[in-house]
Structure 1
């Protein structure tokens, strides 16, 4: 029985790339070692037959594997634990028949030693133990001096600190005719990543229109690099930096985009171009004849290229890139837009372009180009575009929190794009609202009576969300009822009725010292009015009914109650505020919330049933609010001083005032509001004068 070969997988390891440890996913099988770049998605493979030496070495803060291949390339993986050493050693011995030995490095710190070349690696040894190793593929240039050699290195854009150059001092050799400086420089340049145009190009395409970087360039294809030669700028692209190739049809069905993804990107000053975008017309044809024999083509390119090729120019150049770079060409899948092509017209960052849904991601062309893989997408969202209902926005949120918004998409593309996203099993934020009838309501009935269907849907959602809040928190203001008789406000307004009533004849004469008496009278009246006024009643807070069911908790709070103690254990001494922050971060990072959403839905259903039973038990009506019995109405009485010995008209009822006030039959409180300050003062003066005249007549009777 054949023994099954184990497979080792590591998701949190790194690989050295131009002076930076880049996170990768590593998989070791009997066929070889495969590692995938987490950031770019680039997949590379080391065949088991190419592995020559395997070492276990100590790195900064962790352990790593050093793999040396037959062609002289060096691969260093880091991020392993010490406990993994025995497992990896057993795997390499049983699967690849390679002994994984432990490699030690010199830590003396000496700056003098011996330089050794092993394949494409420069090793600097101190006391026969290597102090450091330099992969020559990282070298971009090498210059010499009298007794000195300077190495220049490629820079990594994502690295905070880069190694710029390294200088070696080489003593003069005593042997005649042998220059150690030139020999050192030649051995470095033989393996360095320095692009030099040697020999004839395999193919040349003249005056190709390039959108990024903008201009027309002559494209020359060499075995190890691709040259873009323009009138102002010249770019050289190594074939190892080509990440992906895309061939996309234009919306007009006459032109084609050819997109080349690059890592690292090409540079023009401080501007970086991670994508090379070429535009071809479907009418342009070309003929190529490669300067290679059939044997060389089969040996170097394994049948990917033919000696003679003819056809449309975009097919020829895409086939050349595929053969030289050994990368697959990505084309649109089964998606078909409203226009009959895979392209969706939209805008990104205020620039118009085209969005292409692919089988494993989406790409936007062309300014700026954006490619998003499905494994990078956290969620997608469909939103209304601005204030119009004839277009919508497609928002794509990636796992690092960045949101890419593709706006101004025609409403005819909505159903097709929604079905595409649903088929690819991407998480849709507003799935519950976009399915069923909402998809039709939002975009298919833009000419209905409601001018804004999106706002109508938002209002309906708000009503559903706040329905229970209104039933629980709303209460009538029993104190404030200015339109009802007997209320505090009505009594306060009616108290001004006496100020506007008739005060009798005010034409009587005034006695001497009348001004002083009027002042005293006004003060006494103000004091009596202050004492007689009743304080306004304060609104009492409505007591909560203990029998009323409590609101159902949301999915987040159900999850928080379950994990609160766990968060406290993981973060000892954490405050309540910090618990909320940590819980919010964990809840957002939680991918599967189905369990808690289901529990929340069940709790809400139980709450609604309990609320219905409570409403029936309390009021016997569907509203749930007990009806109030009408209170008895009080008729406020207005008191008006008159002449002594009058006809007994000192008191007037409200009915009398209303009948005598105006023909419009308006409530008294509104009339009191309209009285001016001057009218009140005049009525007070008339009352005082009338009282003084009556006092004077009383004195005359006494004197008689």
Structure 2
């Protein structure tokens, strides 16, 4: 259907939008209007080039604008091409280039960057395109390899679509061999005598993709940057750039974009050495490095280290959007500033140690999980083992706790083991726990009304109360890793911990992470702290 002023096409998609709309051509430009009042308009003066190709949803009209941004309109029928050619020529004096798609199935071709898209072509025919604007990270997993990570499938599917019916590209790896000539930045044309310098082609490809990602993230200025933050899991040092809706982790090898909506838990914990503070970030979906998934990020800060920084925010935004949860200027311990900023930008509460104290007055007890040494933090509604592998244990998911090698009075064993039998059927075991810690952890489990028993004497099971009392609304936050649908977004209460948010975990929080003054940290924690500081600058082992 057409007239002298405009030409309309119905049932057309715009880009990756799931809903259909109406596409119109007129003298003033072209436009598309879909459901929920979604509208796209391009003026005639902004049009640069148009092309026609086969797509997943029928045929596609691709519009290249003068700023090199590309708009795609899918759903056309083969018979629409003649009418489009005639209308585009009459309205805009532009031709429509018909492009064929390669269907050979080869995996060896050429790449070309066009705006925010990466085109992969075989024998001068496009095989596929990648929208880099939707990429979240790029890295080099191996020699001559460049990987591009896209939006994780853990994000919600469009309304009306079953998430199980959605197929989504998670990542793609390119093999880029050989070398290319380095771009000559010298304006002097009489340098022919110098040999042309060459660089690895994979590094050029990697830097180009990285620049495209950075350009797509520069639409908003970063609020604050924390430089060279030490991450224990995964190991490495990262710059943390905080934006309004997401954060960016930039390391030497990996570069990640993490949406605040994917952050579901925050912990601020003092290590037993009383020198370092751990800031733990729980993610769903988890961060991925190759085939390895990291549901928790564990950052370590020196307790006495301070930072002096100004936030890139206007006073109105501080008052209205963040409700005075942020300050314009910070001059405080680094861990305190980091936790405050994360709490305000993510809207999540910061969990701090509760009433539990070990035999030596610390917030955690030293133990091992398989071959990995770490610290187990008994909190008010959960237990957390860090740094590797970070293990989160909600109290309401524990069936029974089994102790072994604790009843050997006068025995030679100086340690005992503890196994958590979960209601899901999984077992989580910790070993090499100092015998002196038994009374404190047993008292903690009694207070939390957890069933305990000693191995070898199963008939003497000690039941302290029915576990049904634990399954109330206060435990919804512990179910975050089982179902995102049950996640709580509230932020109530208060905390005396610097930089921490309100949380029921904090029944009796430490004002400044200070354990009981009459308890000294033993030498075993000192040696552990020394080993941690010596290994801070080591390369990542994952």
Taking structure 1 as the reference length, the TM-score comes to 0.38
Higher Rg of the two aligned structures: 1
Greater share of residues in helix: 1
Which has a greater percent of strand? 2
TM-score of the aligned structures, taking structure 2 as reference length? 0.48
